[in-house]
Each structure stands twice: as structure tokens, then as C-alpha cells.
Structure 1
Amino acid sequence: MDTMTLHRMEYYGYHGVFEEERKLGQRYYVDLQLELDLQKAGLTDDLEQTVNYAEAHVLVKNIVEKKSFKLIEALAEHIASAVLDTYTVINAVTVKVTKPHPPFDVHFQGVTVELRRSRK
């Protein structure tokens, strides 16, 4: 299986356990690894034979920026489901959501949730 990876897409979302996080919002980073057969696209040079990554970016942007979740696990799950529902050529997706500034007094570069979902 081939892969297409969208690295470190940046969005501003309103997610978090604390109400203030959901009001003020913050930056989030999302990585997608899409597993699909890219041979036909490679041989034909035809966008219709692959996933348009600009459209995938907009799909993720609408979820991150227009919905609100308490947990980044729920955000990642929602992204994975939407990607698989939207693009039937994708066999599996790995979603990484990074929250770079969790609201507590610990100094580190954030927390990342990574999950992989595939077609049943």
C-alpha cells in the first residue's frame, strides 16, 4: 500500500477540558498519513485518481476550527472518521493531533495523540 502524508497542518481551534480553552482557543497541529493505492495516479498523472490534498486540508480545517471537543482524542477520532467517509479510495488513515500548549504548569513541547483507523 502506498502512502500520502500531510505534515503539520496548522489550525486554530477551541478544544479542551476547561471552559476557558474552549472560549479562547489555541493552535493545533494535525498530521495525516493516508494509505491508498497511488499507482493509477502515478501512471496517468490524473488528479481524479488520487486524493486532492488541498481538499483534505479543508476537510480537516472545518473539523478543527468549526467544532469543539473536550479531548484531542475525540478530535482525532472525528477527523479519522470524516476522512474515511469522504475518500473511499483510502484504506486506512493515521491521524496525529498535537496540542502544543496544554493549560498546566509543565514545560514541554505539547502533547500528541496518534490513532490509526482502517476500513472494516
Structure 2
Amino acid sequence: MQQLDEIRLEGLRVFGHHGVFDHEREDGQDFVIDLGLSVRAARAAQTDDVVDTVHYGEVADAVAQIVAGDPVNLIETLAERIADRVLTFPGVLVVRVTVHKPQAPIQQQFADVSVTITRTRAEDGS
């Protein structure tokens, strides 16, 4: 079995309108996204051609569209939407998504609130 490699994209900051409170939906806030994409990079390393790998710039654009798009209540839902989209990129076998909500409406002082999910491409390739 061929080893899996990882492409990481960390700290993608996108403004969105997600949250359960009206003021979160109206005012919006920054969300920070970290991605880990499990891929097989051997062919790309051999050919040195971007068409043989996952183009992380295109992934970043797709994720940014989701975060800036239709509001959801929970960052769990946002993470799931991101994972579903990233798994549509050919070559992505597993995706790990962390959604950080640094301005979460919490009364206590905190450094970060985040949700991390891991999703795997279905066996049939979808």
C-alpha cells in the first residue's frame, strides 16, 4: 500500500456571518480554518507538475467561499460543509478540518474555540 502524504493549509482567515445569536449573523466575525489533506504526492514529486497534485490555492478559494457564504448556526456544520467540498477535489483521500472562532460570544476569557472533524472519501471515490 502506498503511503499517504499531507498537504497542510493553516490560518486561512475569512469573514463570515455564522452563529446562533442575531448579532453574530448581522455583524459577522473572522473565522480561521486549518486543513490537513491526506493525498498521495509521489506522482507530483516525480513530474513536478501541479496537475498531479491538489492545488492548495484552489482549495483555499473554495473554503473561503463557504465561510463567506450562507450562514449556519454551528461551527460543526461549517466544518462539515468545508470537509464535504474539499473531498470533491481529486486526490484528496482524507481531510481534517479545524474551524476556529476567535471572537466566540463567551463571557469568560479564552484563547480559542474550535471544532475539528476528520472525513474520508467514500470507497466508491465520491
- Scaled to the shorter chain, the TM-score interval is over 0.9
Q: SS of 2:87's equivalent?
A: helix
TM-score, normalised with respect to structure 2? 0.92
Percent identical pairs in the alignment equals: 39
Number of residue pairs the alignment of both structures matches: 119
Query: 1:97 is aligned with what amino acid?
Result: V
The aligned residue for residue 105 of structure 1 is 107
**Which residue identity does 2:80 align to in structure 1?**
E
| Unmatched segments (≥5 aa) in structure 2 | none
Q: Aligned ranges for residues 1-120 of structure 1 at < 5 Å?
A: 1-85=4-88, 87-120=89-122
Structure holding more helix per residue: 1
Structure 1 residue runs of 4 or more that deviate by more than 3 Å after TM superposition: none
- 2:54–2:90 contact (8 Å) kept in structure 1: no
* Residue 104 of structure 1: how far off its partner (Å): 2.3
C-alpha distance in structure 2 between counterparts of 1:36 and 1:54, whole Å:
15
Q: Deviation at 1:17? A: 0.6
Q: TM-score, normalised by structure 1?
A: 0.96
Q: Is the contact between residue 101 and residue 109 of structure 1 (CA under 8 Å) also seen in structure 2?
A: no
* Long gaps (5+) in structure 1: none
